Amino acid sequence: MNWNAVLPELILGIGILTLFLVELFLAKKHYKFLSVLGFVFTFLSAYSIFFVNYPAKVFFDGFSIDGLSLVGKLFVLALTGLVLLASYDYFNKKDSVYNELPYLYLIATLGLMIMLSSENLAIIFTGLELASITMYILTGLFRKDYLSKEGAFKYLVIGTTGTSMYALGTGLIYAASGSITLSHYSGENTLFALGIVLIISALALKVSAAPFHFWTPDAYEGAPTPTTAYLSTVPKVAFYFLFVKLLVGLMSSFQDWRYVVIVLAVLSMFYGNVVAYAQRSVKRLLAYSSIAHAGYFLTALTAVDKDLFTALLFYVFVYGLANLGAFTILSILEKNEGWTHNFLDFKGLYQDSPLLAALLALFLFALIGIPPAAIFLGKLGIFLGLVKTEQLVLGVLFAIASLISAGYYLKVIVYMFLYKGERRFKRPEISAGEAFTILVTSFLVVLLGLFPQVVLNLLTSRI
């Protein structure tokens, strides 16, 4: 038995069990300790990735490790660690500490990692479910809060629909090809086509692409903000790695899915960007922005092209960093008494806490795609790939959608900087963990824009 191949999962699993046991004996005031312990385990798990030999297959080929999935796991673990560090003070201040939280985050991450490390559709399903169910719980954390309950319930109902679609798709693929592993399947078959469309739809639902996005705004708004930060970054990264793997493995034998993805992409870009203008809450606005971003990402999945995939995965990762930074700042602000994320609360934020306002502006400018923020490079890469695969029209649509999006991000910046505040808020305290997360994300967002080689080399050599 080759334990080396499952080293990261193993360490994370041990971490989860440790947290689970320790939590039984600890009072609520030690919540911070638990979070930090969780961070230590994510760090160890991420570190162990460098010692994994790949490619390798274990558990009767149920578990297969390749270079790309390792990079995916690294990204996922990095973001999870940052979320954990950023979250503890929020829950302490909100007086809603449940010591189970840190390991719930870890379980969701473990699910995503399992999902990434298999070529068997059934095992992918197991990982997917493990992650999804944990995320439903995380969303509904504020049990007495109506919005949180509503968000969790919507997420549960729609998310379950998604996973059942996935299961049905797997069944159909099995019926058509006699196998549930990712392998090249040649031959026209209606069942197979239907199965793939179902799987694409299920994944599109998970990455909140229109028209499967209905859970997104409510779940994002209702969830505690650190959880929103988690939901909008970690699973996204994992799902796009999975998407790439599916496209390379399973779907290269089947061409019609392209049009499905194009339709999803265009719909999401424009729906997300246009509806974002109607929002009065910045948190909800960012939810719509993530729908729009799902559209941008999907444009890169319309052709099997190495450069497109590299650009996409880079883009998703730096998008995750910027989004994480933005949501962390929202969660810091939310610690203020009476903060609602309404635009009016953001009025004149620059006067009260200039640093937070400036950093949020940095993340928002990054999300617009202004260089030198790294997201610009992601966009550029996708542009290049789209032109290369002769999809200039899609590239133009992408550009137009990006332009539309500039308006609502700017609206937040305008409210923060250019209007005078009517209500003054105290300058919120920033905990060490939050400071660390913001520092790391903001530095990486700019640095990776200027020196992206590290991440790009990691990706290009493995796709």
Partner 1 sequence: MELLLNIAIFLPLVGAIVVALVRNEQFAKVFSIVLSGIVAIITLILFLNFDFSKQGFQYETYLPWIEPLGIGYHVGVDGMAITLILMTAILFFAVFVWSWKIEDRPIPYIALFLALETACIGVFAALDLFLFYLFWEGMLIPMYFIIGFWGHDRKVYAANKFFIYTFFGSLFLLLGIASILVYGYLETGKLSFDYFFHLQLEYPFWLQLLAFLLFGLGFAVKIPMWPFHTWLPDAHVEAPTAGSVILAGVLLKMGTYGFVRFSLPLFPEASKYFVPLIFTLSVIAVIYAAMMAIAQTHMKRLIAYSSISHMGLVTLGTFALNPDALNGAIYLMIAHGLSSAALFFGAGFIYDRIHSYHMDDLGGLARYVPYFTFAFFLAVLAGIAFPGFASFVSEFLILLGTFKNHPIWAFVAGIGMVLGAAYSLYMFWKVMLEEDSIPEERKEKWKKLKDIELHHAIPFALIIAMALIMGVYPYPFVKIVEHTTKLVFGG
What residues line the site for partner 1 (CB under 8 A)?
365, 368, 370-372, 376-377, 379-381, 383-384, 386-388, 392, 395-396, 399-400, 402-403, 406-407, 410, 414, 417-419, 451-453, 456-457, 460
**Residue of 30, 8, 48, 206 whose CA lies nearest to 102:** 30
Rank residues 259 and 451 by Cβ distance to partner 1 and give the closer one: 451
Which residue number, 254 or 297, has a Cβ lying nearer to partner 1? 297
CB 222 within 8 A of CB 149: yes
Please report how close the Cβ of residue 179 comes to partner 1 at its closest, in angstroms.
36
**CA 456 vs CA 93, 300, 355, 385: distances in Å:** 39, 16, 31, 15
Q: How far is the CB of 423 from partner 1 (least distance, A)?
A: 19
How do beta strands 63-65 and 56-58 pair? antiparallel
Closest-CA residue to 64 (of 52, 72, 73, 55): 55
Work out how close the CB of 180 gets to partner 1 at its nearest, in angstroms, rounded to a whole number.
Answer: 36
Query: What phi and psi values does residue 212 have, to the nearest 5 degrees?
Result: -105, 25
Q: Residue 362 Cβ, how far from partner 1 at the closest point, in Å?
A: 9
Which residue type, as a one-letter code, is found at position 75? Answer: F
Min CB(16)–partner 1 separation in Å: 37
Closest approach of partner 1 to the CB of residue 109, in Å: 29
Length of the chain: 463
Cβ proximity to partner 1: between 420 and 424 the closer is: 420
Run of H or E residues at 56: strand 56-58
The per-type count for the chain, helices as H runs and strands as E runs, is: 19, 2
Would you call 419 exposed, middle or buried from its count of C-beta atoms within 10 A (0-12, 13-18, 19+)? Answer: middle
**Closer residue to partner 1 in complex, CB, 77/303:** 303
E strands along 298-442, which residues? none
- Residue number, 17 or 403, with CB nearest to partner 1: 403
Toward partner 1, which CB reaches closer, 240 or 383? 383
Q: How far is the CB of 303 from partner 1 (least distance, A)?
A: 13
> Using an 8 Å Cβ cutoff, are 361 and 373 in contact?
no
Whose tokens are 């039984």? That residue is 24
Whole-angstrom distance, CA of residue 430 vs CA of residue 436? 10
- State the angle between helix axes of 67-93 and 7-25 in degrees (0 to 180), rounded to the nearest 10: 20
Comparison of 207 and 375: residue with beta carbon closer to partner 1:
375
Largest separation between any pair of C-alpha atoms in the chain: 66
Specify the residue, 57 or 388, whose C-beta has the smaller distance to partner 1.
388
Whole-number minimum distance, CB 411 to partner 1, in Å? 8
For residues 200 and 67, the answer to whether their CB atoms sit within 8 Å is no
The alpha-carbon radius of gyration of the chain (Å, integer) is 21
Q: Which structure tokens are listed for 423?
A: 């209500």
403-417 as b/e: b if 16+ CB within 10 A: ebbbebbebbbebbb
Of the pair 21, 387, the CB lying nearest partner 1 is at 387
Is the Cβ of residue 135 or residue 377 nearer to partner 1 in the bound state? 377
The CA distance from 287 to 290, in Å, is 5
87 vs 97: CA distance, rounded Å: 11
Neighbours of 132 (CB within 10 A): 22
